[in-house]
Amino acid sequence: MFTPHGVIPAVVTPLDAGGELMEQALRDVIDFTIAGGVHGIFVLGSSGEIYGLDDAQKRRVVEIAAEHIDRRVPLYAGASEITTRDCIRTARMVADIGGVSALSVLTPYFMTPTQSELVDHFTAIAASTELPVLLYGNEGKTHLKITAETNRTLSAVDNIIGIKDSSGDMSLMLDYLRTTPDDYAVLAGRDTLIYSGLCHGATGAIASTANIAPRLVAEIYNSYVAGDYKRSLELQFALVPLRQALDGATFPVVLKEGLRLAGIDAGYCLAPARELAPDKREQLAGVIADIGNLPGLAEKE
């Protein structure tokens, strides 16, 4: 069974001012992050504005990503709709295209199902596809937790292979790690907790900041795996200002602004997420410049 590992950027979906897909820009974002040393690409996540894309756009994003990546790194795709029925529809669309290594499925948003309903939801989605499935918990956005017990129950489903934990709650992540089989992957979804997750047994991270600083985020993982824990922690600390800068505007505006500063025009976010104030843009530019001057990173670009 496929094992997710390493740093996987949840890439943005480049859109023009009218909300239409910028196909070449998507290829450019993919190439930029792969050149930065990431270990996979994740499309149709919250960073990719899956919640606002129509079905044709979702299909085209997966088609372009699968064709352009051409198995250079594993491709992950989101099937994160509100209802079980719609998640299954997206999961089948992704499987039909091919070239995808695993699905990521966020808990429902807007509605708040019980934990037993969550088990039924994820189990039905997993049963609808032969693709490996990653659960995705993001309590801050959905106001819905995947409890340790629910995660443990779902870990017994054959093709549910792990969880992306964006809760920011290290105690919960530890419970995920402690109560599931060794081959069940736990991935950090909070960019400031990549090092901490690795220390406790996480296999990597799905990180939005890796859109902008792929080399830095990838090297947190690479340094840790190489046994250079001091450097891994130093790089984790260096990432914090960038993660904090993401709070400077409506998500994911800062990701696209950061890519623009890095030389990649990723277009606009879907309205009403539009603006980054001039002072926040200046702050972001300073953070990106500081990252570019970090020892041991610039020469690898």
Active site positions, annotated: 136, 164
Could you tell me which residues come within 8 angstroms of residue 112 by beta carbon, excluding any fewer than 6 positions away? 143, 144
**CA–CA separation, 66 and 291 (whole Å):** 30
Q: Looking at the chain, how many residues does it have?
A: 301
Cα–Cα nearest to 298, from 216, 232, 212: 216
Q: d(Cα 214, Cα 144) in Å, to the nearest integer?
A: 29
The secondary structure of residue 267, as a DSSP letter, is B
Percent composition of the chain: helix, strand, coil (DSSP 3-state, to 5): 50, 15, 35
Report the C-alpha gap between 50 and 64 in whole angstroms: 15
Q: Dihedral of CA 209/212/218/219: which sign?
A: negative
| Residue 145: closest CA among 112, 104, 122, 178 | 112
Is residue 135 within a helix (H) or strand (E), and if so which, with residue range?
strand 133-137
Residue 269 amino acid letter: C
Cα 239 to Cα 12, 39, 257, distances in angstroms: 19, 18, 17
Separation between Cα atoms, residue 240 and residue 120, nearest integer Å: 37
268-298 burial code (b ≥16 CB/10 A, e <16): bbeeeeeebeeebbebbeebbeebeebeebe
Rg of the chain (C-alpha set)? 18
